[in-house]
Structure 1
Amino acid sequence: MLSSPIPVAVLGATGSVGQRFISLLDNHPWFKVVALAASDRSEGKPYAQACHWVLTDPMPDWAREMPLLPSNPQAMPEVKIVFSALPSDQAKILEPAFAAAGFAVCSNASSYRTESDVPLLLPEVNAEHIQLVRHQRLARGWSGCIITNPNCTSTGLTVALKALDQAFGVKRAFVVSLQALSGAGYPGVPSLDILDNIIPNINGEEEKVEWEPRKMLGRFNGDAIELAQVQISAHTNRVAVLDGHTVCASVELGSFASPQEASEVLRAYQAPEIARGLPSAPQPVIVVRTEADRPQPRLDRLTGGGMSTVVGRVRSDPLLTLKFVVLSHNTIRGAAGGSIYNAELFVSQGLL
């Protein structure tokens, strides 16, 4: 517990991920939201007036009358950490401005995930990569920094791959995603497109799912990340589910493992020690379901408060080694909750 809460802000506060940040930061033991920012057309309006709240959790009372600020570092001088729910095109411009001005930017946007000096973090997978911010600050001359979390589909998949890679090695993976509507934001996919339908393409998504796990499973050498050699082929699909991304994965392991052995490894997996015990740390990291028809988004997406990864249907694969199903909550673990967990790790390591 800190002696006093750290003042934080949310950029892109009126969107669906911005709302999830506000909900998860309500009564957070380390962070206090003191500023909310949105587009120029909303500047000065009370948050409740400018925001169409879409979450089932109620809007926190403290947020209702908070005036919306411009997305400008000068507008929030008391803030130490900003949580970015900005669209990628805006994040590309605004996030470096905040980092250069001394803010720690914990970003949900994809704009800087591939930069060699920017951590792409899942603390339960690659907590040591947080130290890359030291190199980033030196290289860019920033007093602040940018820390990113991965694509919401990469998230649960990478947690499962990490557990298996640590025990057996992972050579290749073939994955098919069934991605929830909330991943497209609000109002999202038109109803006439998604009802009675599956949309078999999400622009730019397959490339992220094929590349991002390689960075997160890679080795930190002090200055950069050496990408893992695992090969991934991905199909991504939008389905008529509100929350919770499902991935059907087939993997080739470096050494043989039976479904029972793999299930035991997944169930026993623990985060690196420095990522344990933080307020948002998933407990447990991975839940293995043994039922023939689990995980299911409606039943399992809120496991561990939406921060745990749920794996099921672990079985032998006739072409590779194993196949299984992974589920994670895309707007909690895969978005706002992930950024908050990253910020907790950042603070706990004395990097603020």
Structure 2
Amino acid sequence: MVSVGVLGATGAVGQRFVQLLADHPYFDLTVLTASERSAGKKYRDAVNWRLDLPLPESVGDITVTDTRIESLKNVDIVFSALPADLATKIEIDCAKAGVGVCSNASSHRMSPDVPLVVPEINADHLRMIELQRDSGTDGFIVTNPNCSTIMLTVSLAPIRNFHFTDLRVATMQAISGAGFEGIPGMSIFDNVIPYIGGEEEKMERETLKIMGTFDGSEVINAPFTVSASCNRVPVIDGHSMAIWIDIKESVEEVAKAFRNWKCPLKDLPTLPEKSVDFMTQQDRPQPRLDRMKGKGMTVSVGRLRPGIRYIAMGHNTIRGAAGASVLNAELICDRGYL
């Protein structure tokens, strides 16, 4: 078993990490960190557990520590649910201390020697770990993308071999993406907020790195442009998005590509049976009906129309955050990078 910890274990994404790791076949969850006000408490006493399933019994008695390297000496991998401003230094310190970091934070996603990984799309980018080790780092940092970027890029996997140069996306993002305390109820009820700070820029940058080519020394960005418009809507979980892409092939050819696509990976515990589920119903996907497909790891695609236009949707705190990091860690173990 690989010994793992969670940084920022009491927040929205941190709780998802704990839920996914508690009885994982690869990982032994031994360390949970949080702020100083939680340090020293049993996890069950430190956390205001807000997920749909009960707090796993196996983690309730773990004593929470503050987020220091000294607390992580015997850990092989940490999963980072830290805010970006805290993650920047702490994640580097962990990697220098020989700990592997699988990060949901945005701090290092665009660093030239840090892989930004969606396993179904760019598993070979994990070779960038070797660049970090060549620079003298005993551990490593591997990141997963923004919660909306990952839905977009997973949906592109079946159609990436079609030629296109222009991609446009309008998101309808759930309130859980802003964290437990992120949006006051009076701001979001009966409302749509047409701005999420930094989100559009992340989608436009991160997509090109993920879909790009690693040549052994750097990632060459994908040769298309992305234009994003991001909106917050009164949905609890599940980011939806409308996507326009200048593919010249017919709807029938694109639909066939969605239906016939096979994931290049297999036998990873968190990998769903279908990473992309192509739906033919006119009114699907819908967050309430479809977000938990594949235990929250499937991206549903539907409403394919001439143009090419379609809708994609996935669970933002599972596929779009904690589940994405856990899947990355499984791939790291499978490829022998520990």
Which residue in the other structure is 2:297 paired with?
307
One-letter code of the match for 1:81? Answer: I
Which residue in the other structure is 1:348 paired with?
334
Asked if the contact 1:269/1:285 (under 8 Å) is kept, the reply is no
By how many angstroms is 1:266 displaced? 1.5
One-letter code of the match for 1:12? Answer: G
User: 5 Å matches for 1:244-255?
Assistant: 244-253=238-247
Secondary structure of the residue aligned to 1:64 is: coil
Which residue in the other structure is 1:148 paired with?
143
Question: What are the Cα deviations for residues 82-120 of structure 1, in whole angstroms up to 9, with x where unaligned?
Answer: 000000000011000000000000000000000010000
By how many angstroms is 1:156 displaced? 1.2
Secondary structure of the residue aligned to 1:40 is: coil
By how many angstroms is 1:165 displaced? 1.7
By how many angstroms is 1:169 displaced? 2.2
Identity of aligned residues (%): 45
Asked if the contact 1:161/1:170 (under 8 Å) is kept, the reply is no
Q: 2:152 aligned to 134, 153, 157, which one?
A: 157
Which residue in the other structure is 2:125 paired with?
129
Which residue in the other structure is 1:296 paired with?
286
Which residue in the other structure is 1:264 paired with?
256
Question: What are the Cα deviations for residues 289-310 of structure 1, in whole angstroms up to 9, with x where unaligned?
Answer: 1011000000000111111110
Which residue in the other structure is 2:312 paired with?
326
Asked if the contact 2:120/2:157 (under 8 Å) is kept, the reply is no
User: 5 Å matches for 1:1-352?
Assistant: 5-139=1-135, 141-166=136-161, 168-253=162-247, 256-272=248-264, 275-317=265-307, 322-352=308-338
- Give structure 1 regions of 4+ aligned residues with deviation exceeding 4 angstroms: none
> How far, CA to CA, are the matches of 1:187 and 1:225 in structure 2?
36
One-letter code of the match for 1:78? Answer: N
Unaligned runs of 5+ in 2: none
Question: What are the Cα deviations for residues 159-209 of structure 1, in whole angstroms up to 9, with x where unaligned?
Answer: 12232122x123111110000011000122100000010000000000011
By how many angstroms is 1:337 displaced? 0.3
By how many angstroms is 1:76 displaced? 2.6
By how many angstroms is 1:271 displaced? 2.7
One-letter code of the match for 1:161? Answer: L
> How far, CA to CA, are the matches of 2:279 and 2:44 in structure 1?
40
> How far, CA to CA, are the matches of 1:112 and 1:268 in structure 2?
34
One-letter code of the match for 1:324? Answer: Y
> How far, CA to CA, are the matches of 1:131 and 1:334 in structure 2?
23
**TM-score scaled by length of structure 2:** 0.98
One-letter code of the match for 1:329? Answer: H
By how many angstroms is 1:211 displaced? 1.1
Unaligned runs of 5+ in 1: none
By how many angstroms is 1:157 displaced? 0.6
CA RMSD across the alignment:
0.9
Asked if the contact 1:7/1:32 (under 8 Å) is kept, the reply is yes
Asked if the contact 1:123/1:271 (under 8 Å) is kept, the reply is no
Secondary structure of the residue aligned to 2:165 is: strand
One-letter code of the match for 1:80? Answer: D
**Mean CA deviation greater in 287-296 or 168-177:** 168-177
One-letter code of the match for 2:153? Answer: T
One-letter code of the match for 2:310? Answer: F
> How far, CA to CA, are the matches of 1:305 and 1:170 in structure 2?
32
Secondary structure of the residue aligned to 1:42 is: coil
Asked if the contact 2:77/2:100 (under 8 Å) is kept, the reply is yes
> How far, CA to CA, are the matches of 1:271 and 1:145 in structure 2?
26
> How far, CA to CA, are the matches of 1:212 and 1:79 in structure 2?
29
Asked if the contact 1:124/1:270 (under 8 Å) is kept, the reply is no
> How far, CA to CA, are the matches of 1:75 and 1:148 in structure 2?
22
